[in-house]
Structure 1
Amino acid sequence: MKTGNESIKTVFILSGLFQYGHMDIFLFVAIIILFAVALMGNLILFLLIQLDTRLHTPMYFLLSQLSFMDIMNISTTVPKMATDFLSNSKTITFLGCEIQTFVFIVLGGTEALLLGFMSYDRYAAICYPLHYPLLMSKKICWFMVTCAWTSCSINALVHTLYVFHLPFCRSQLINHFFCELPSLLQLACQNTSQYEYTFFMYVCCILMLLIPLSLILASYSLILAAVLHMRSTAAQKKAFATCSSHLAVVGLFYGAKIFIYMRPKSYRSVAHDKVVSAFYTIFTPVLNPLIYSVRNKEVKGALRKWLEKHFLQHL
């Protein structure tokens, strides 16, 4: 607890997504509907992968982890944002804000690494199909996921401990709809420029964003070269179909993250950051299961089989 010239902070106030009071009910209903769709879509995809033995492959194992992250991601920020539309006091406790920041950083970094591992999985499957069972064994898959969660948890813990030990003496108002790290730094009455431009920018952005993105670009460059040398048109179509879904998800994730965290400070706008953050935290978890299921015959087949077993046979 801070004393002296530093004000004691037990709660923060969130400014929210929009400042239009007459639209609060509409926004609440819209957010709740999107939350329910995202939760149901990702939960169904996660359970299908667990229950259908045909989906017990490295690609779907990693996809189940992505669905699990999307469930956690939307559950971390959206329920609080939705209730704030109906509340006159948009407060969040110091501890609640700390937990929200930690979980959000963990999920962001882990998803970045996971998308890199998913691109390597497609590279191994298409470029080295005979060695694929060895390159993507069950042990290696678990090692990848464990490394992603562990490294990003340590990274998030370092950031969270640093930020929440700063003296917050400027204001209690966080100009955002959740406790995002850049917004919190604006409340500190201590100079954080060195942290922002060294540790945060280089460690967080380069290690957690640019290195996985480089792996993705390298993997898909090699995949494209391999696919173009395939003689079978059917094999080419299958390869493009399995990769296009992943590339769409990569575009959504990295587009939002790079826009928020890697723009020069002089070009940043709070309003724009809020909109992009809303897209990432709300719409991406809604779109991800749709992207992976609409053009995926195996997922659609597993869903059809599950529906026939549990519902259609009783009609």
Structure 2
Amino acid sequence: MGFSNSSNIYEIVLVGFPNLQQFSMFLFLSLLCIYLFIIAANIIIFFVIQRQPSLHNPMNFFIAVLSCLDICYTSVTIPKMLADLLDEEKKISFPGCILQAYVVHSLGASECYILTIMGYDRYLAICKPLQYSSIMTTRICIFFLVVDCFVGGFLIPLIEVVLISPLPFCGPNRIENVFCDFLPLLSLACTDTKFYIMVEFCIALFILLIISLPLILFSYISIIHVILKMKSKIGRRKAFSTCGAHLMVVTLFFGSAAFIYVRVSESSFVDFDRTVSLTYAVFTPLANPVIYGLRNQEIKKSI
């Protein structure tokens, strides 16, 4: 990743939540507890799934991958937020800011693809149970799908890095956010950025609304159609329960991500944007182990 020598900005200031400075120590302790819980809960879920033979099925394999993604994702964003809560300057180097934005987008895109595959897994399990074992239980197929998710997740955001890093940045150097992201960075460029904002919009549209969301909607429309045909109430309840956790995570993840990225201009509601960014970066990874760990009876019993 090369960075332009024409940039006069060597450091970026992450403004965060300036109206809550008097609560910085309380916010630091709260965020630290959340971060430790996310790390500990996801590590427990990962090792329980790995060590318990009864949990060795495709859905739990994807949950274990999701746990690893959440550990990596929060480790890219939350430690810097914690440091900024105790630091008045809240600075990050310009290359470091570009790198953080790239990793955030890469891990976010990878998680988007994993959630899409999990929806497809539920579709096969409920709508095509006789074909499920021949499609989803082979280790080659599962690992092939996961590798594709990570390769696609880490390749596509490179387009944004290649386009944005050579731009001239001559000031100001303040980002109204809690972590670095490409769209706020573009607002600092000393040139017309309409083309770059449109590229950002198209990439987000492609990942969220063209690839992932249609596949998830197709999966769940098919699932609901099959469930409504079931005569057994117990069977319906069981089928809904297996999909409920995934739907909750998808709604939280896609809702916040779409609000942040699928738009062609910056919002004028800065505080609301920061809150949504915090939801995307902190509360969605916090919800994942709770939803998949505490609501999953098999994992709960194994723990």
TM bucket, shorter chain: over 0.9
Q: CA deviation at 1:268?
A: 4.4
Q: CA deviation at 1:10?
A: 2.4
Give CA-to-partner distance per residue, 1:62-112, whole Å, 9 cap, x none. 111111111111111111111111112211112321221111010111111
Structure 1 equivalent of residue 143 of structure 2: 142
What is the distance in 1 between the residues matched to 2:287 and 2:66? 12
Structure 2 equivalent of residue 16 of structure 1: 16
Check 1:23–1:266 CA distance in 2 against 1; reply closer, same or farther (3 A cut). Answer: closer
Q: Which moved more, 1:286-295 or 1:246-255?
A: 286-295
Structure 2 equivalent of residue 296 of structure 1: 296
What is the distance in 1 between the residues matched to 2:210 and 2:4? 37
Give CA-to-partner distance per residue, 1:186-220, whole Å, 9 cap, x none. 000121101222x2222332234442011111100
**How many residues align structurally?**
300
What is the distance in 2 between the residues matched to 1:266 and 1:233? 48
Structure 1 runs of 4+ aligned residues shifted over 6 Å read none
RMSD: 1.6
What is the distance in 1 between the residues matched to 2:144 and 2:133? 15
Check 1:236–1:53 CA distance in 2 against 1; reply closer, same or farther (3 A cut). Answer: same
Structure 2 equivalent of residue 285 of structure 1: 285
2:25 alignment partner, SS class:
helix
2:180 alignment partner, SS class:
coil
Give CA-to-partner distance per residue, 1:277-304, whole Å, 9 cap, x none. 101111111111111123321111111x
2:167 alignment partner, SS class:
coil
Structure 2 equivalent of residue 308 of structure 1: none
What is the distance in 1 between the residues matched to 2:264 and 2:102? 24
Equivalent residues of 2:183, 2:200 under 8 A apart: no
Give CA-to-partner distance per residue, 1:47-75, whole Å, 9 cap, x none. 11111111111101111111111111111
Structure 2 equivalent of residue 187 of structure 1: 188
Percent sequence identity is 37
Structure 2 equivalent of residue 311 of structure 1: none
Structure 2 equivalent of residue 75 of structure 1: 75
What is the distance in 2 between the residues matched to 1:76 and 1:18? 22
Check 1:266–1:156 CA distance in 2 against 1; reply closer, same or farther (3 A cut). Answer: closer
Check 1:294–1:20 CA distance in 2 against 1; reply closer, same or farther (3 A cut). Answer: closer
What is the distance in 1 between the residues matched to 2:78 and 2:203? 28
Equivalent residues of 1:48, 1:302 under 8 A apart: yes
What is the distance in 1 between the residues matched to 2:4 and 2:127? 57
Equivalent residues of 2:183, 2:266 under 8 A apart: no
Check 1:266–1:15 CA distance in 2 against 1; reply closer, same or farther (3 A cut). Answer: closer
Letter in 1 for 2:187: Q
Letter in 2 for 1:294: L
Structure 2 equivalent of residue 58 of structure 1: 58
Equivalent residues of 1:245, 1:292 under 8 A apart: yes
Equivalent residues of 2:69, 2:107 under 8 A apart: yes
Q: CA deviation at 1:7?
A: 5.0
What is the distance in 2 between the residues matched to 1:7 and 1:115? 38
Letter in 2 for 1:206: F
What is the distance in 1 between the residues matched to 2:25 and 2:301? 39
Equivalent residues of 2:168, 2:191 under 8 A apart: yes
What is the distance in 2 between the residues matched to 1:24 and 1:182? 26
Letter in 1 for 2:184: S
Check 1:268–1:210 CA distance in 2 against 1; reply closer, same or farther (3 A cut). Answer: farther
Q: What TM-score do the two structures reach when normalised by structure 1?
A: 0.90
Equivalent residues of 1:126, 1:239 under 8 A apart: yes
What are the within-5 Å matches in structure 2 for residues 140-179 of structure 1? 140-179=141-180
Letter in 2 for 1:70: D
Q: CA deviation at 1:175?
A: 1.8
Equivalent residues of 1:12, 1:91 under 8 A apart: yes
2:226 alignment partner, SS class:
helix
What is the distance in 1 between the residues matched to 2:92 and 2:126? 48
Equivalent residues of 1:105, 1:156 under 8 A apart: yes
Check 1:152–1:263 CA distance in 2 against 1; reply closer, same or farther (3 A cut). Answer: same
